[in-house]
């Protein structure tokens, strides 16, 4: 224990000493060639990153210090990088004047040696543009090292600032693969296909838009239960017998339904911070969506409740049920069945409306695709965003249709019948109605069918949006 800690102390002291030596030594080493710049051109399709393993251009600039004359420069990159097959353009500048120079570049693996025909004098700037070189495929920060020859002496170059590179993932390899395919090139040469349905961009957008899609779903899925609760409260308030309560509900519903969601978003996102109320963007998005949807849901629920025939209230009343008991036990259960299709439609609306949140910087699907499109100048990310929206909405649209059919069928008595309990039931002179062909009901008949066979001929609830 004791020995261990003293060991560590020794190591610390050693490290400190090494640091001191380094600090003293480094400035004393006179640099004759200072690296000014080392950058790489982005080669990410639809991005600004530098990807390893894919050809790009490395630009390196150095300035010759006083009393030196440089005859050759050698640049070295970490293992995995390659200068093979690269072509190098060498420029020697005296301020803004170009000094003619016949330079030769000899690439070999991860090093490249550049020999100048005339030595570069003090104050000259040396620029190397190495085309078609590749960085290591594993990515990471890459530092350019090297050496130079000045008056016959070889000296080390100070390391450059690191260049951030991205690993060459399987996705990048797929993109490179697609880039090389003749059919892709042919496809993209069509102006429409290349602009809206570029295969490489579809592939990359699918991955880069995914987080935005999750945010959209998250916002609406979290917001909706609150919206349903709020909506039910305001629906019941609107049906209240007290005028003041009714008025509050009417104002709430009409203001929210009568103004654009876009405006509501602006008011909330810019208004609250001005009152020094700072809420996380996503949370605020949930709040805005919940409040907005609640107004529409309130109207849907109100219409649903009002579509229940008076006879139901009277029947409940004649059993001695109070208002609340009737609402909870008789009216609401029937309302729920009736409003499910409309509520689902509203959910679809709300999900699509999350796109408006992009205008205030919520990082959702629309925001991601907008960014990607502005970087690539291609419409494909928008088309991919459309695909993401459709993944959610199309099945829901189908679900609405199925539920509507099912409700229509069950209310008309076409559903599966429970088995009769008493086998020797006494013969009825009444016949139960024949089973309708409910399964193949059209949308129109499905909408008109609820409660058709029953006592009341009330249609479904109209979509109030």
Partner 1 sequence: MFDKAKAKVEARREAHRVPPALDAEQAASEAHERDKGLTKHHFEPHEHPCVRIEHLMKTFDGETQVLTDVNLTVWPGEVVCVLGPSGSGKSTMLRCINLLETPTAGHILIEDKEITGHLVTKEVNKLRQNLGMVFQSFNLFPNLTAKGNVMIGQTKVLKKSKAEAEAEALKQLDAVGLLDRADFKPAQLSGGQQQRVAIARAVAMHPDILLFDEPTSALDPELVRGVLDVMRDLAENGGMTMIVVTHEMGFAREVADRVVFMEGGVVVEQGTPEMVFDNPQNPRTAQFLGSIG
- The yes or no reply on residue 233 touching partner 1 (CB under 8 A) is no
Instruction: Specify the residue, 174 or 332, whose C-beta has the smaller distance to partner 1.
Output: 332
Instruction: Specify the residue, 162 or 415, whose C-beta has the smaller distance to partner 1.
Output: 415
CB of 41 closer than 8 Å to CB of 56: yes
Stretch that binds partner 1, among 72-80, 89-97, 163-171, 312-320 (CB under 8 A): 312-320
Q: How many CA atoms lie within 13 A of 406 on its CB side?
A: 11
| Tokens representing residue 281 in the block | 């963007």
Measured from the CB of residue 451, what is the shortest distance to partner 1 in angstroms?
Answer: 6
Stretch that binds partner 1, among 214-222, 297-305, 353-361, 416-424 (CB under 8 A): 416-424
- The yes or no reply on residue 404 touching partner 1 (CB under 8 A) is no
CB of 80 closer than 8 Å to CB of 74: no
- The yes or no reply on residue 434 touching partner 1 (CB under 8 A) is no
Cα–Cα distance measured from residue 390 to residue 384, given in angstroms and rounded to the nearest whole number: 10
> Which residue of 162, 273, 311, 395 would you call a contact of partner 1, by CB under 8 A?
311
CB of 291 closer than 8 Å to CB of 233: no
Scanning residues 250 to 309, which ones bind partner 1 (CB under 8 A)?
309
Using DSSP bridges, classify how beta strands 97-99 and 33-40 pair: parallel, antiparallel or unpaired: unpaired
Size of the site for partner 1 (CB under 8 A): 42
Measured from the CB of residue 190, what is the shortest distance to partner 1 in angstroms?
Answer: 56
Stretch that binds partner 1, among 58-66, 109-117, 259-267, 452-460 (CB under 8 A): 452-460
Instruction: Specify the residue, 135 or 451, whose C-beta has the smaller distance to partner 1.
Output: 451
Stretch that binds partner 1, among 3-11, 98-106, 212-220, 420-428 (CB under 8 A): 420-428
Which residue's entry shows tokens 């066979």? 453
Instruction: Specify the residue, 258 or 320, whose C-beta has the smaller distance to partner 1.
Output: 320
CB of 356 closer than 8 Å to CB of 177: no
- The yes or no reply on residue 459 touching partner 1 (CB under 8 A) is no
Cα–Cα distance measured from residue 366 to residue 281, given in angstroms and rounded to the nearest whole number: 15
Rounded to the nearest 10 degrees, the angle between the axes of helix 243-258 and helix 199-238 is: 160
Q: 393-418: buried (b, 16+ CB within 10 Å) or exposed (e) per residue? A: eeeeeeebeeebbbbbbebbbbeeee
Which residue's entry shows tokens 């602006």? 266
- The yes or no reply on residue 312 touching partner 1 (CB under 8 A) is yes
Cα–Cα distance measured from residue 447 to residue 441, given in angstroms and rounded to the nearest whole number: 10
> Which residue of 127, 246, 257, 337 would you call a contact of partner 1, by CB under 8 A?
337
- The yes or no reply on residue 418 touching partner 1 (CB under 8 A) is yes
Q: CA of 340: how far to CAs of 96, 184, 225, 283, in Å?
A: 73, 45, 14, 26
> Which residue of 454, 459, 462, 465 would you call a contact of partner 1, by CB under 8 A?
454
Measured from the CB of residue 248, what is the shortest distance to partner 1 in angstroms?
Answer: 18
Sign of CA dihedral 400, 404, 406, 407: positive
- The yes or no reply on residue 417 touching partner 1 (CB under 8 A) is yes
Stretch that binds partner 1, among 91-99, 204-212, 236-244, 425-433 (CB under 8 A): 425-433
> Which residue of 320, 377, 440, 444 would you call a contact of partner 1, by CB under 8 A?
320
Using DSSP bridges, classify how beta strands 163-165 and 104-108 pair: parallel, antiparallel or unpaired: unpaired
- The yes or no reply on residue 241 touching partner 1 (CB under 8 A) is no
- The yes or no reply on residue 415 touching partner 1 (CB under 8 A) is yes
**465: nearest Cα among 328, 350, 377, 388:** 350
> Which residue of 453, 459, 462, 465 would you call a contact of partner 1, by CB under 8 A?
453
Residues that bind partner 1 (CB under 8 A): 309, 311-312, 314-323, 325, 329-330, 333-334, 337, 410-413, 415, 417-418, 420-422, 425-426, 428-433, 451, 453-456
């Amino acid at each position: 224990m004791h020995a261990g800690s003293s060991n560590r102390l020794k190591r610390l002291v050693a490290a400190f000493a090494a640091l001191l030596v380094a600090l003293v030594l480094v400035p004393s080493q006179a640099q004759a060639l200072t690296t000014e710049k080392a950058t790489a051109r982005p080669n990410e399709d639809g991005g600004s990153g530098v990807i390893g393993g894919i050809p790009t251009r490395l630009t390196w600039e150095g300035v010759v210090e006083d009393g030196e004359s440089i005859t050759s420069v050698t640049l070295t990159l970490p293992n995995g990088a390659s200068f093979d097959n690269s072509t190098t353009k060498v420029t020697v500048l005296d301020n803004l004047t170009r000094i003619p120079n016949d330079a030769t570049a000899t690439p070999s693996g991860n090093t490249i040696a550049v020999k100048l025909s005339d030595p570069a004098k003090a104050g000259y700037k040396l620029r190397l543009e190495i085309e078609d070189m590749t960085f290591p495929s594993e990515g990471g920060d890459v530092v350019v090292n090297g050496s130079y020859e000045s008056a016959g002496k070889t000296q080390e170059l100070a390391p450059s600032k690191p260049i951030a590179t991205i690993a060459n993932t399987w996705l990048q390899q797929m993109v490179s693969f697609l880039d090389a395919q003749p059919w892709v090139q042919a496809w993209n040469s069509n102006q429409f296909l290349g602009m809206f349905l570029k295969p490489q961009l579809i592939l990359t957008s699918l991955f880069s838009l995914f987080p935005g899609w999750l945010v959209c779903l998250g916002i609406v899925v979290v917001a909706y239960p609150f919206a349903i609760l709020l909506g039910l409260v305001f629906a019941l308030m609107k049906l209240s017998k007290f005028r003041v309560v009714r008025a509050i509900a009417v104002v709430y519903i009409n203001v929210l339904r009568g103004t654009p969601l876009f405006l509501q978003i602006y008011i909330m996102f810019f208004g609250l911070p001005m009152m020094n109320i700072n809420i996380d963007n996503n949370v605020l998005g949930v709040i805005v969506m919940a409040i907005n949807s609640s107004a529409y849901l309130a109207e849907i629920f109100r219409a649903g409740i009002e579509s229940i025939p008076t006879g139901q209230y009277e029947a409940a009343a004649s059993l001695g049920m109070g208002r609340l008991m009737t609402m909870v036990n008789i009216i609401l259960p029937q309302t729920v069945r009736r409003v499910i299709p409309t509520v689902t439609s509203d959910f679809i609306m709300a999900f699509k409306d999350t796109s408006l949140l992009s205008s205030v910087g919520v990082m959702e699907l629309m925001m991601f695709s907008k960014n990607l499109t502005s970087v690539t100048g291609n419409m494909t990310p928008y088309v991919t965003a459309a695909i993401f929206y459709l993944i959610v909405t199309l099945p829901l649209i189908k679900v609405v249709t199925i539920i509507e059919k099912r409700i229509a069928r069950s209310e008309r008595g076409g559903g599966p019948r429970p088995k009769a309990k008493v086998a020797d039931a006494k013969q009825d002179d009444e016949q139960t109605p024949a089973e309708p062909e409910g399964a193949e009901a059209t949308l129109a008949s499905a909408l008109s069918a609820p409660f058709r066979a029953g006592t009341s001929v009330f249609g479904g609830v109209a979509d109030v949006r």
